[in-house]
Chain A
C-alpha cells in the first residue's frame, strides 16, 4: 500500500492532553479520594438514603460493600436458624428466630465504619442486647470473653465480657427497618456499634463463653482485636459510638 504518506500530525494533540488529564485525576483520586469520599457521604449520602426508588443506592456513596469470607454467600432460612449459647454458663441454651424476636428489642442508630475506609451514615439496627442474652444463661465467674462463630464455617470473632455487655452491642435481626438479608449477615448477626465493621460478625451461629480472648478470623489476617473506630488499625476515623 503506497498511500501511507499521511501528514505526520496536523492539529493539536488534544487526545494526549485529555488522556493525561484523566490519568492525573485518577492519581489525585487515589491520594485524596478518601477525603472526597467522606465529604460526599456527609452531604449527598443523606439524600441517597432518603431516595425511595433505590436507584441512587447504585451510586458509590454511603453504601455497604459486601465482603464474604468463604466462596459463597452463606444463607440460612429464619426457620432453620438457631442460636447456640454455651461455654462457661450455668444454663446453656438454644434459641429459635421467634424466641429472639420475642425478647425486648433494642434500637441503635449509628454510622457504620469499615476498616477499608467506607462509611455508611446513620444506619438503624434492631435486635436484642447481647448482655440480656448472657444474663439469661448466667455467666460463671471464671468467664472473661466470648467467641462467636458464623454458620459460614470460617468467620469467627471475639469480644471481652466487658465489651459484650455494652448498651450498644447487640444481636441484630433488622437493618433500617427491614429483616437482615444474607448479604448483610442475615438472618441474625452481631452488631458492635463502637468498633470497625469486621467485629460485627455476620451469619451468627454460636456464642461460646470462654476464659480468654481468642482472636477471630480478621484478627488472624492482621486487624486489631480491640477494633475501636478511630483508635485502632492505624486509622483516625471519627468514632461511631
Chain B
C-alpha cells in the first residue's frame, strides 16, 4: 500500500500529468456533455419534458451544443500547444500486454506495470471519442431528416437513443471513479499527481517521466510551473 511506503529521496513530491491545454479540452468537453445529457433527457423523457416545457428552446440548445462538441478536442489536436494531448491520445490507443493482464486480473496483479493510462481509461476515452462521432452523425440526420430516407431517420433515432443511454452510464461511471480517487482527479483539476501515486498505480509511466530527471528538487521545479 502507498501508506506503508516510506518517502524516498528518488520519489518526487509531484509529477506533472495533464497540461493546461489538456485540462481546458477536458473541462470544455465535460461541460458540453453535461449540457447535452441534461437537454437530451428533457427532450427524451416524457414527464421531464412536460415539466420543463420550452421544447423548441431546449432543442436548439441541444442541437448547437452537439454541433460544437467536437470543436475543443479537434482544436486541441491541431494546435501547436497540443503536443502532449496528441501524445496522450497515442498512449490511449496503444494497448501493452500489461493492459490485458490488468483486465484479466481486474487490477489485482501486483506485477502489472501500467503506462500513463489504465485500460479502463483507454476504453472510456475510446468510447467517448467514438460516441462523439456517432452522436454527431445520427443527430445531424435527425435534425436535417428531409435529406435522408425515412428508414435512416428511424435508424439514426434508434442509434442516438441507445448510445445516449450507454453514454449516460459511462459518464456516471467516469465521475464516480474520479471522485473515488482524489489524487487522480487532482491530475485533471490542478495538473499533477503525487509521485507515490504515479509509482504505485502507473509504474511504467512513472519510470518514463522520471528517467533523466534525477534528484527530487529538479523534478519538483519542473512540476510547479504546471501545477497551478
Q: Which of B3-11, B30-38, B67-75, B209-217 contacts A (4 or more CB under 8 A)?
A: B209-217
B14 at the interface (CB under 8 A from A): no
A105 at the interface (CB under 8 A from B): no
A224 to B64, CA, bound (A): 31
Q: Which of A8-16, A123-131, A158-166, A209-217 contacts B (4 or more CB under 8 A)?
A: A8-16
- B49/A33 in contact, CB under 8 A: no
Interface residues on B, range: 35 or more
Contact of A30 among B50, B123, B156 (CB under 8 A): B156
Contact of A19 among B130, B154, B162 (CB under 8 A): B130
A11 to B154, CA, bound (A): 39
- A18/B123 in contact, CB under 8 A: yes
- B49/A37 in contact, CB under 8 A: no
Main SS at interface, chain B: helix
- A31/B155 in contact, CB under 8 A: yes
Q: Which of A68-76, A133-141, A199-207 contacts B (4 or more CB under 8 A)?
A: A68-76
A74 to B47, CA, bound (A): 14
A177 at the interface (CB under 8 A from B): no
Given A11-B96, A18-B130, decide whether A183 and B46 contact each other with a Cβ distance below 8 A: yes
- Give a binary string over B68-104; 1 marks a CB under 8 Å from any A CB, 0 the rest: 0000000000000001000100111111110100000
Q: Which residue of A is nearest B92, CB measured?
A: A15
Give chain B residues whose Cβ lies under 8 Å from the Cβ of A58.
45
B122 at the interface (CB under 8 A from A): yes
Q: Which residue of A is nearest B46, CB measured?
A: A183
Give chain B residues whose Cβ lies under 8 Å from the Cβ of A16.
93
Q: Which residue of B is nearest A30, CB measured?
A: B155
Give chain B residues whose Cβ lies under 8 Å from the Cβ of A60.
157-158, 161-162, 165
Q: In the complex, how many angstroms separate the beta carbon of B211 from the nearest chain A beta carbon? A: 6
Give chain A residues whose Cβ lies under 8 Å from the Cβ of B57.
71
Main SS at interface, chain A: loop
Contact of A22 among B134, B145, B212 (CB under 8 A): B134
Give chain B residues whose Cβ lies under 8 Å from the Cβ of A59.
165
Contact of B154 among A14, A23, A37, A234 (CB under 8 A): A37
Q: Which residue of B is nearest A68, CB measured?
A: B55
- A9/B151 in contact, CB under 8 A: no
Interface residues on A, range: 35 or more
Tell me the residues in window 15-33 of chain A with beta carbons closer than 8 Å to chain B beta carbons.
Answer: 15-16, 18-19, 22-23, 26-27, 29-33
A68 to B95, CA, bound (A): 48
Contact of A33 among B45, B47, B145, B159 (CB under 8 A): B159
Given A34-B151, A60-B161, decide whether A4 and B126 contact each other with a Cβ distance below 8 A: no
Q: Which residue of B is nearest A20, CB measured?
A: B130
- A30/B95 in contact, CB under 8 A: no
- B95/A12 in contact, CB under 8 A: yes
A235 to B150, CA, bound (A): 8
A10 to B93, CA, bound (A): 10
Q: Which residue of B is nearest A38, CB measured?
A: B154
- Give a binary string over A30-73; 1 marks a CB under 8 Å from any B CB, 0 the rest: 11111011000000000000000000011110011110101111
Give chain A residues whose Cβ lies under 8 Å from the Cβ of B134.
22-23, 26
Show 14 residue pairs from A and B whose CB-CB distance is below 8 angstroms, ordered by the A residue: A1-B222, A9-B93, A11-B94, A12-B95, A13-B94, A18-B130, A22-B126, A23-B133, A33-B154, A34-B155, A71-B57, A115-B150, A116-B150, A117-B150
The 6 A-B residue pairs with the shortest CB-CB distance, nearest first, are A117-B154, A33-B155, A60-B161, A26-B134, A33-B158, A15-B93
Given contacts A9-B90, A183-B46, 10 further A-B contacts (CB under 8 A): A1-B222, A9-B94, A11-B94, A14-B95, A18-B126, A22-B131, A29-B156, A59-B165, A66-B55, A117-B157
Residues of A at the B interface (CB closer than 8 Å) are 1-4, 6, 8-16, 18-19, 22-23, 26-27, 29-34, 36-37, 57-60, 63-66, 68, 70-73, 115-118, 181-183, 222, 233-235
